[in-house]
Structure 1
Amino acid sequence: MSKEYIGVDLGGSSFNMGRVIKGMLVDEVKRDIDGKADEAAVLMELTSLLDKIITPDVQGIGIGVPGIVDPVPGIIYDIQNIPAWKEVHLKEILENRYDVPVALNNDANCFALAEKMFGKGREYRNFVGVTIGTGLGMGVIINNQLYNGVMCGAGEIGMLPYLDGIVEEYAASFFFTRNYSENARTVHENALKDQPQAIEAFHKFGHHLGEAIKMILFMFAPEVVILGGSIAKAHKFFETSMKESIGQFAYPRQTEGLRILISTHPNIAILGASALVMDLTSSD
């Protein structure tokens, strides 16, 4: 009998989860949540969804967290858009309730792990996965293994100083809301309509993203950079300016074989979370 796992994507505004068998999503549930609710109410929303999807054949539950998490004891210390969740011992709570192993990790790390196991990173030993959305996250694969760092803190590229702020203020959705008073989705829709301001916005965005990738090259010298997240879907509008920035890297020989790939798997967040509890995974 094939082993089953549950992957949970703890979004800031919704919980999305599914059962995974042999790398395939076989069942999925999603629910919008009230981020302003108290700790117990949000936890009840989570467990009510898990109750619907778990089966006796499930071997473990993996959870991707958009925030600060200590993966060893499985404690969430902070999570985007759910201010009530401070020091939530989620691993202990869920293991006591469901009697299966539970693993937690940063959502960007889950993205990189999913690309390694199921996506475009399978043939590469060393790469980074960059998630571009509300913020800019990164997961790091070194010698075929996910590198977490302390408190899953490795790869926080978005928090590095850049210009008059930090990187993710220029290479994530903040850039569009601050400079164009529109979210990235709306700007993308306008770019698809050939609106000049939207096209120019993505051109400038691509320059900043390219500068962020140059920082990654200095730190990790990866074979491949895999872009994911909602804004990656607009890559055709920013890839030219992004590559122009990367083309100015100080060590051009290092970039000759560099590949920038776009994640295309529709269920990558759930798969990445489920991979945390699969036999082929390991911590640092």
Structure 2
Amino acid sequence: MLKTEKPILGLDIGGTNIKAGVLVVSDLVDIRTISTPSRESQESILETIADLISSYVHHDFFAIGIGIPGLIDTDNGVVLNLENIPSFRRVHLREFLETRFAKPVYINNDANCFALGEYKFGEAQVYQHVVGITLGTGLGAGIIVNGHLYCGFNCAAGEWCSAPYLDQDFEFYCSSKFFHSKFNAKAKSLSKKAARGDKMALEAYKEYGHHLGELIKNILYTLAPQAIVLGGSIRKAYPFFKESMEANIATFKYPSISANLKILISDLDETAIHGAVALVDEYAVPVDTVSNPS
């Protein structure tokens, strides 16, 4: 639940697409997707973003939240890098947009936005300690501690993707890279085969679930969250890796932690935009602006 009912514009800027939408009261409206001009200059990309935002001014939004898959200097609103967009290095995005629109702008890593969005809008809002994990082309994670987003320095907290695991790292074994490298197939196609009872596909997801269980145990040792929310495209295959994942989690050394852990599957339709909007609510709206019953 947000602390304000004022309209908020949310953007999810990725290497392929830029998505946007406005939260009005509790509903996302006017959701749009445009292609990211990822091979163009930094100036051209900035103008593309500004043009998209300009098309929303009739909504009279009071602030802008942006999720980006990269490292962010949140204190200064500088994008240090953006995955899959070569020209987006040390971009003073907040300064550019605040000068253009005279609205406050809040920027963070997209996985952090996912976790915050799930905490503000999803089933995770009943917990105070949450980790959100995005399972897709890559692996991302965001952390909620005591009901607030924890980013670390330059939004680098929760980068379990790069932590060494077996002969690679956790991203290799817990993203679509695993299926492509080990089974020469896409996660989605294997999911369809698993639904038909294909033994190889079922075995692939069983092995995947074991690796994801190892990642979750590492998270439990580090943070001991009450809940973990799974997002990203691979979450849709959850029934095929649930059992092996849970079997591995059950070997965690401290059962009082693992036995009480809740594994949630994201059901938000526009998680990325929800997360960007939630970012504004986290940082822009002071608690004392909320009206209390007399």
**If the TM-score is normalised by the length of the shorter chain, which range does it land in?**
over 0.9
| Counterpart secondary structure, 2:62 | strand
Return the alpha-carbon distance in structure 2 between the equivalents of residues 240 and 195 of structure 1: 17
- 8 Å CA contact retained: 2:229, 2:264: yes
* 1:112 maps to amino acid: A
Residue number in structure 1 paired with 2:183: 180
Q: Against the structure 1 CA distance between its residues 279 and 241, is the aligned structure 2 distance closer, same or farther, given a 3 Å change threshold?
A: closer
Return the alpha-carbon distance in structure 2 between the equivalents of residues 156 and 100 of structure 1: 30
TM-score of the pair, normalised by structure 1: 0.95
| Counterpart secondary structure, 1:55 | helix
Deviation at 1:65, TM superposition (A): 0.7
- 8 Å CA contact retained: 1:19, 1:25: yes
Deviation at 1:175, TM superposition (A): 0.6
Return the alpha-carbon distance in structure 2 between the equivalents of residues 112 and 61 of structure 1: 18
Gap regions ≥5 residues in structure 2: 287-294
- 8 Å CA contact retained: 1:29, 1:49: no
Number of paired residues? 283
* 2:129 maps to amino acid: N
Residue number in structure 2 paired with 1:164: 167
* 1:209 maps to amino acid: L
Residue number in structure 2 paired with 1:274: 277
Match among 192, 205, 210 for residue 207 of structure 1: 210
Return the alpha-carbon distance in structure 1 between the equivalents of residues 284 and 217 of structure 2: 29
| Counterpart secondary structure, 1:257 | coil
Decide which moves more: 180-189 or 164-173: 180-189
**Superposition CA RMSD, Å:** 1.8
Q: How does 1:94-243 map to 2 (within 5 A)?
A: 94-243=97-246
Match among 85, 91, 95 for residue 88 of structure 1: 91
Return the alpha-carbon distance in structure 2 between the equivalents of residues 238 and 158 of structure 1: 19
Structure 1 residue 72 corresponds to structure 2 residue 75: yes
* 1:223 maps to amino acid: Q
Q: How does 1:17-96 map to 2 (within 5 A)?
A: 17-55=20-58, 57-96=60-99
| Counterpart secondary structure, 1:17 | strand
**Bigger fraction of residues in helix:** 2
Q: Against the structure 1 CA distance between its residues 245 and 282, is the aligned structure 2 distance closer, same or farther, given a 3 Å change threshold?
A: farther
Match among 12, 15, 21 for residue 15 of structure 2: 12
Residue number in structure 2 paired with 1:247: 250
- 8 Å CA contact retained: 2:20, 2:33: yes
- 8 Å CA contact retained: 1:23, 1:118: no
* 2:200 maps to amino acid: Q
Deviation at 1:34, TM superposition (A): 3.5
Deviation at 1:56, TM superposition (A): 5.7
Return the alpha-carbon distance in structure 1 between the equivalents of residues 57 and 21 of structure 2: 9
- 1:188-213 deviation digits (Å, cap 9, x = unpaired): 23323332222211111111000000
Deviation at 1:281, TM superposition (A): 6.3
Return the alpha-carbon distance in structure 1 between the equivalents of residues 188 and 48 of structure 2: 27
Decide which moves more: 165-174 or 51-60: 51-60
| Counterpart secondary structure, 2:125 | coil
Decide which moves more: 27-36 or 254-263: 27-36
Decide which moves more: 250-259 or 81-90: 250-259
Deviation at 1:47, TM superposition (A): 1.8
- 8 Å CA contact retained: 2:148, 2:282: no
Identity of aligned residues (%): 41
Q: Against the structure 1 CA distance between its residues 77 and 65, is the aligned structure 2 distance closer, same or farther, given a 3 Å change threshold?
A: same
